[in-house]
């Protein structure tokens, strides 16, 4: 294997590990202490800290069973479209779609990076749409969101104009991966194992059994894979300004699918630590956690083990691919590496029962009723989504009390 290929595979592996590592840590939510008393008008609306925890998309066991089915339907549809329609037109449509989606993904990632590196706090604005006393949609944003949205629009515009530049394509792909790992949360380890093993057989069938996956990967020109030139040291246009045809590639699915399982391992590590220190949700924090709702240290044996197993899975994929000189389904090696490593660790630590009993619950996403009655509003499950009318009512009441005192 040439030195150029070593560089290429090292770069691909490094890029794959970045969204997994940072996406996992950003998937951790704040601890819930006792609910704070609201004494200021629009207090939540002006406190940017309340916007840190975003709504996650929960993946249930039923979803895990259906993933290979949905994946197969999507893959086969893309294959047939690329086969029977003009590839250039198909790629143009896909470019437009992913450029628009990429704006949001890049903006979200840039906001997270800015907050993580600067600890910046800005006033939070809400834009809400209410119809017949039901909240149809709600957007929370700061000035930082507007700045990153503009920067993301410029970057995706350049991607569209510069003949799908591979560096910009990677930036969009990394943003998609980071966002997915951060926000997609498995219900349990059972769910994760079912999903990984289902996609294990899915990958084997579509790579070894047919030409479908390889054909789609080669012909579909969209940021759904990470790319790196096979011999960048001797390639003109090293910064991607000139078209390069020979690339090493890794599909985003080979990053995101194991990545959300690795993120689950990290949250399980934290859960085990919190159990030891006696943390109870919505109760006063234990003394060891005082003032540390999110940024506290804890042991991460399951995360470390699964993360290292993923690295070895990638190395094995590359080794087998070069040994047999044929495309390899990465999940053939990544799925067993991630699942078996964590199960063996749980057995060795005597924590198998805790491992399989661990679950993460998600609230159903339903329209929230907006009522002028404070008693109804106080029964909402999410304190960050308190009724706007309640706030006006409380301000009015406080104003009346103040006027009576003045009299």
Q: From the DSSP assignment, how many helices (H) and strands (E) are in the chain? A: 13, 7
The half-sphere exposure of 100 on its side-chain side, counting CA atoms within 13 A, is 5
Q: What is the pLDDT of residue 317?
A: 93
Measure CA of the first residue to CA of the last residue in the chain; give whole Å. Answer: 88
* Measured distance CA(380)–CA(369) in Å, rounded: 9
Q: What is the pLDDT of residue 286?
A: 80
Is residue 254 annotated as a catalytic residue, yes or no? yes
DSSP letter, residue 242: S
Is residue 231 annotated as a catalytic residue, yes or no? no
Which of the following is catalytic: 53, 231, 254, 269? 254
- Tell me the pLDDT tens digit for each residue of 319-358: 998 888 888 899 999 999 999 999 999 999 999 999 999 9
Instruction: Copy the structure tokens of residue 376.
Output: 């109804």
* Measured distance CA(270)–CA(272) in Å, rounded: 5
* Measured distance CA(272)–CA(298) in Å, rounded: 9
Q: What is the pLDDT of residue 53?
A: 52
Q: What is the pLDDT of residue 142?
A: 87
Q: What is the pLDDT of residue 30?
A: 79
For the chain, which residues make up each domain, given as ranges? 3-362
Residue-by-residue DSSP string for 69-105: HHHHHHHHHHHHHHHHS-HHHHHHHHHHHHHHHHHHH
| Of 132, 143, 131, nearest in space to 48 by CA | 143
Q: What is the pLDDT of residue 35?
A: 59
Q: What is the pLDDT of residue 124?
A: 83
Q: What is the pLDDT of residue 388?
A: 39
| Of 316, 331, 64, 78, nearest in space to 213 by CA | 78
Q: How far, rounded to the nearest angstrom, does the alpha carbon of residue 62 sit from its chain's CA centroid?
A: 20
* Measured distance CA(257)–CA(85) in Å, rounded: 30
**Tokens 């404070």, located at residue:** 374
Alpha helices in 240-330 (DSSP H): 253-277, 301-324
Q: What is the pLDDT of residue 401?
A: 46
- Tell me the pLDDT tens digit for each residue of 176-198: 999 999 999 999 999 999 999 99
| CA angle in degrees (0–180, nearest 5) for 39-54-254 | 165
Which of the following is catalytic: 203, 221, 269, 387? 203
* Measured distance CA(79)–CA(101) in Å, rounded: 22
Mark the ranges of the chain whose per-residue pLDDT is less than 70.
Answer: 1, 32-55, 235-243, 291-295, 362-407
- What is the value of pTM for the model shown? 0.81
| Of 265, 239, 226, 252, nearest in space to 343 by CA | 265
| Of 70, 89, 90, nearest in space to 79 by CA | 90
Q: What is the pLDDT of residue 282?
A: 74
Q: In this structure, are residues 227 and 234 in contact, taking their beta carbons and an 8 Å threshold?
A: no
């Amino acid at each position: 294997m040439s030195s150029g290929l070593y560089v290429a595979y090292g770069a691909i592996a490094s890029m794959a590990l970045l969204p997994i590592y940072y996406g996992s840590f950003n998937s951790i939510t704040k601890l819930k202490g006792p609910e704070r008393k609201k004494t200021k008008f629009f207090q939540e609306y002006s406190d940017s800290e309340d916007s840190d925890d975003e709504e996650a998309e929960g993946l249930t066991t039923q979803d895990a069973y259906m993933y290979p089915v949905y994946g197969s339907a999507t893959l086969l549809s893309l294959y047939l479209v690329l086969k029977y329609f003009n590839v250039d037109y198909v790629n143009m449509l896909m470019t437009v779609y992913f450029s628009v989606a990429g704006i949001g993904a890049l903006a979200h990632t840039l906001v997270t990076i800015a907050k993580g590196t600067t600890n910046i706090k800005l006033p939070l604005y809400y834009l809400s749409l209410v119809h017949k006393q039901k909240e149809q949609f709600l957007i929370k944003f700061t000035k930082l969101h507007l700045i990153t949205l503009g920067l993301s629009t410029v970057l995706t515009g350049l991607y569209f104009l510069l003949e799908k530049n591979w560096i910009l394509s990677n930036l969009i792909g990394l943003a998609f991966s980071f966002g997915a790992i951060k926000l997609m949360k498995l219900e349990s380890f059972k769910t994760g194992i079912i999903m990984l093993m289902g996609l294990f057989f899915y990958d084997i069938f579509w790579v070894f059994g047919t030409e479908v996956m390889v054909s789609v990967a080669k012909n579909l020109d969209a940021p759904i894979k990470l790319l790196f030139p096979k011999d960048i040291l001797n390639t003109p246009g090293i910064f991607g300004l000139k078209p390069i045809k020979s690339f090493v590639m890794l599909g985003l699915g080979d990053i995101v699918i194991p990545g959300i399982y690795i993120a689950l391992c990290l949250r399980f590590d934290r859960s085990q630590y919190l159990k030891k220190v006696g943390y109870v949700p919505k109760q006063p924090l234990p003394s060891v956690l005082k003032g540390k709702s999110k940024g506290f240290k804890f042991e991460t044996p399951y995360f470390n083990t699964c993360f290292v197993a993923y690295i070895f899975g990638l190395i094995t994929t590359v080794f087998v691919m070069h040994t047999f000189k044929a495309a390899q389904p990465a999940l053939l090696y990544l799925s067993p590496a991630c699942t078996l490593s964590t199960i063996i660790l749980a057995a060795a630590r005597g924590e198998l029962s805790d491992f399989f009993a661990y679950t993460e619950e998600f609230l159903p996403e339903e329209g929230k009723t907006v009522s002028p009655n404070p008693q109804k509003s106080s029964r909402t499950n999410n304190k960050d989504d308190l009724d706007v009318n309640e706030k006006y009512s409380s301000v009015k009441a406080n104003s009346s009390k103040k006027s009576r005192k003045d009299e």
